[in-house]
Structure 1
Amino acid sequence: MTQAVNTPRYGNAFQARIFWTYAPKLLSSTTAVRRVGFESGPRGFDDVWVEYDPSRGPLDQFGRRLQVERFQCKWHVGNGTFTHVDLTDPNYSGATTTSLLQRARDAYLSDQADGFASRIRLMTNHRIHLDDVLHKLVEQQHHTLKLDEFFQGSTKQSKYWLAREAWRQHLKVDEAELRAFCERLALTSVSESLDDFRLRMDEALHFYGLKPSEPGTSSTIYDQLPYDWLAQGRNEFDAKSFREACGDDKLFADQAPPPAKVFGVKSFEHGFDRLEARCDEVLSFLPEFSDRYLKPEFTWDKDLLPKLTAFIRSAGQREQRLRLAMDTHLTLAFAAGTVLDTKSGKIVEIEQRTRGGSAIWAADDAPVDTNWPGWTFSEFDMGTNGPEVAVAVSITRTTEQQVRAFLQGQPNIGRLVVAGLTGSASQCAVLNGTHADQLADRLANHLKDVRSIAGLAARPALHLFMAAPYSVAFFLGRHIKVLRPVTLYEFDFEGERGGGYVSSLTMAAGS
């Protein structure tokens, strides 16, 4: 009985907290969000929708501007999975006659008729079943389908053909119509808890001048308020009507936080927290990547670095203290730091994603505490007599074993420095911006000493392998003058390029 009661309550809270991560952005003229709706629009994908400024909306997987995103929010009390067949079964979503897939296509057709470029997104804490055809078809940048793979071949016994045929017959469409619809479909499996979504909601409320939910309480008015407004006929908001609604319910904080100009850089995309929705300017490298992999026609040094340098330098010229939001590979976070190096005189705030949402980190955000985890360094002779030095940085996870595997057959690398923190590797090991900056400073100084011991006329090259928060990578990049020459590496987490390290960016001495 308890679970039966909690299921709709948790589902309502999930939907409300998604609403509150977007709606407060209406209070700022600098975001791309122009209208937000709750329980309105095409039936079935009407839980929450967001309309963007047509000139500033997020880019889809083909580089086209989105004008509308529609969310169907499905929260399940227990763990579970779904398959491509479940999306055609009305019972999976608690309906009787219409499936989630049919609802999604109805929403797509409605937007097509209105001339809107939209994305239709299912958000659920259920995951795609590991054995289902969808599991490897959902790409990680946008959570959309890899259409070239899904629609490849016509062998009637292939898993892709069978899945396409099941969807095609269910929707009563031909293949061209199915592909056009699939271009707009996104399937997002969230791993955050409801408490995590509450933290994310509170961050949005605070940032845009609204009162966060009351700390230490098990419930919040924000979970119920959208439903109260719905009963009053207020469920579609622009900046004016949302400000009025918040004023009516006395939601504004006594003292709103000062506005901050936020610059975003991304090479991949968060499931629903897109940088365009909350940043003043965004540099997107999504067209240069396929999932987490750089496309073969692009290079880190000739294509990505010049664009990043120009963007960060322009931001630094206009702002003495600036904020960066980065959904990027560690290589790009490090490279951003090289532009705003320690001689630039700039104070940089980093929006650091954490397990509970995100936090604003800066080099001066906390007094130094001697009890914070510090570095432990180990050095190993690789037996090659090579002059170059590999550095395995293990903060969020251990890297030594994978780095040693990579170094096999690398005769130029003669030494390995393993840099870990006191205690075990952890996603929570770095505590704040001051801690991140302190760790970067001490690591740079240690590597400077390591290379000076070699006694060579020229600095031996560094090979940098990092598992760290991108704030640490950024602050380390600010020490580029003592780190050059250096080559950075990215780890192949998806296992599609051999499952090891792949070199990314090289910064030569004096470059």
Structure 2
Amino acid sequence: MSKQIAARMLGDDYQALYFWLKVCEMFQPHNNIEKVGYEYDQIKAFDDVVVFYNEKVPDKSMTPIVADYFQLKFHVTNSEYFTYENLMDPKAINATSVSILQRIHNAQKEFTPTGEHIRFYIVTPWHPHPDDALKELISNEDGQIRLDKLSQGGPRSKFGKVREAWKDHLGVATDDELMTALKPVRFNLGTRTITELQAQLNESLLINGFKPISNTLSLIHI
């Protein structure tokens, strides 16, 4: 089996495990989940898994959230990192012309003009590069970009260079436009391995009265 095919199949497993974890959460009333979508094509850039809520749930700023959209990017190894620059590079998400940052901006403009009420999650085993400005911008509270931090300094400062690069890439003129585009973004970086996700799913299945996956079976197709 070629490495490309194996990686694709592992990516499918990664997505499926994440979907079933969210389905298990739906059976726990405190999560207020109405339904969970798989390959839900409402927002093409964030269609892997979608969670809709029965009642609006507040984010950390107490803004009511009606839905979360998850795009999962599996990588076989941790040989690469996310940086503020490769968020502008289509190749970082195996695309040819549109970067993840542009996809976020396009979705934000169409579905959440104020940047509120829905969230776009990037879920991946990759980490932010330890020497990159992006590492300082991602909140460990909820994965949001720390817009207050990004706003610091002039155009030539460390974060000013990030702002200017992202504005130029997205074709926006002001910092306010950039902050609105970034407001719904959440990063879930450095996620668990597929084996760990399977163990987590088994725990969730048991909690909800379902049959777990036997450890004599494997989701790994290599």
TM-score by length of 2: 0.89
Q: Find out whether 1:75 has 2:74 as its counterpart.
A: yes
- Equivalent pairs, count: 218
- Secondary structure of 2:187's counterpart equals strand
Letter in 1 for 2:49: V
Matches within 5 A, 1:169-208: 169-173=168-172, 174-208=174-208
Report the alpha carbon displacement of residue 218 of structure 1 after superposing the two structures with TM.
Answer: 1.7
Query: Does the CA-based 8 Å contact 1:26-1:33 persist in structure 2?
Result: yes
Which structure is higher in helix share?
2
CA separation of 1:202 and 1:110: change in aligned 2, threshold 3 A: farther
Alpha-carbon separation, structure 1, partners of 2:115 and 2:186? 19
Query: Does the CA-based 8 Å contact 2:33-2:53 persist in structure 1?
Result: yes
**Map of 1:432 onto structure 2:** none
**Map of 1:23 onto structure 2:** 23
Letter in 1 for 2:18: I
**Map of 1:101 onto structure 2:** 101
- Secondary structure of 1:214's counterpart equals coil
Matches within 5 A, 1:216-227: 216-219=216-219
Matches within 5 A, 1:255-294: none
**Map of 2:119 onto structure 1:** 119
Report the alpha carbon displacement of residue 147 of structure 1 after superposing the two structures with TM.
Answer: 1.1
Report the alpha carbon displacement of residue 219 of structure 1 after superposing the two structures with TM.
Answer: 2.3
Partner deviation per Cα, 1:152-180 (whole Å, 9 max, x = no partner): 232x3212111111111111123211101
Matches within 5 A, 1:235-274: none
**Map of 1:52 onto structure 2:** 53
Query: Does the CA-based 8 Å contact 2:68-2:121 persist in structure 1?
Result: yes
Report the alpha carbon displacement of residue 29 of structure 1 after superposing the two structures with TM.
Answer: 4.5
**Map of 1:90 onto structure 2:** 90
Matches within 5 A, 1:122-141: 122-141=122-141
Report the alpha carbon displacement of residue 73 of structure 1 after superposing the two structures with TM.
Answer: 0.4
**Map of 2:43 onto structure 1:** 42
Alpha-carbon separation, structure 1, partners of 2:25 and 2:128? 31
TM-score by length of 1: 0.40
Unaligned runs of 5+ residues in structure 1 are 224-511
Query: Does the CA-based 8 Å contact 2:121-2:186 persist in structure 1?
Result: yes
Letter in 2 for 1:62: S
Matches within 5 A, 1:430-441: none
**Map of 1:464 onto structure 2:** none
CA separation of 1:115 and 1:162: change in aligned 2, threshold 3 A: closer
Query: Does the CA-based 8 Å contact 1:111-1:117 persist in structure 2?
Result: no
Letter in 2 for 1:71: F
**Map of 2:160 onto structure 1:** 161
- Secondary structure of 1:181's counterpart equals helix
- Secondary structure of 2:134's counterpart equals coil
Unaligned runs of 5+ residues in structure 2 are none
- Secondary structure of 1:134's counterpart equals helix
- Secondary structure of 2:46's counterpart equals coil
CA separation of 1:27 and 1:60: change in aligned 2, threshold 3 A: closer
Letter in 2 for 1:106: N
Query: Does the CA-based 8 Å contact 2:71-2:122 persist in structure 1?
Result: yes
Alpha-carbon separation, structure 2, partners of 1:85 and 1:198? 32
Report the alpha carbon displacement of residue 210 of structure 1 after superposing the two structures with TM.
Answer: 2.4
Letter in 1 for 2:50: W
CA separation of 1:192 and 1:30: change in aligned 2, threshold 3 A: closer
Q: CA RMSD in A?
A: 2.2
Alpha-carbon separation, structure 2, partners of 1:92 and 1:63? 33
Higher relative contact order (CA 8 A, sep 6+): 2
Report the alpha carbon displacement of residue 28 of structure 1 after superposing the two structures with TM.
Answer: 4.8
- Secondary structure of 2:5's counterpart equals helix
Identity %: 29
Report the alpha carbon displacement of residue 108 of structure 1 after superposing the two structures with TM.
Answer: 2.3
Query: Does the CA-based 8 Å contact 1:20-1:204 persist in structure 2?
Result: no
Letter in 2 for 1:159: K
Runs of 4 or more off by more than 4 Å in structure 1?
113-116
Query: Does the CA-based 8 Å contact 1:66-1:119 persist in structure 2?
Result: yes
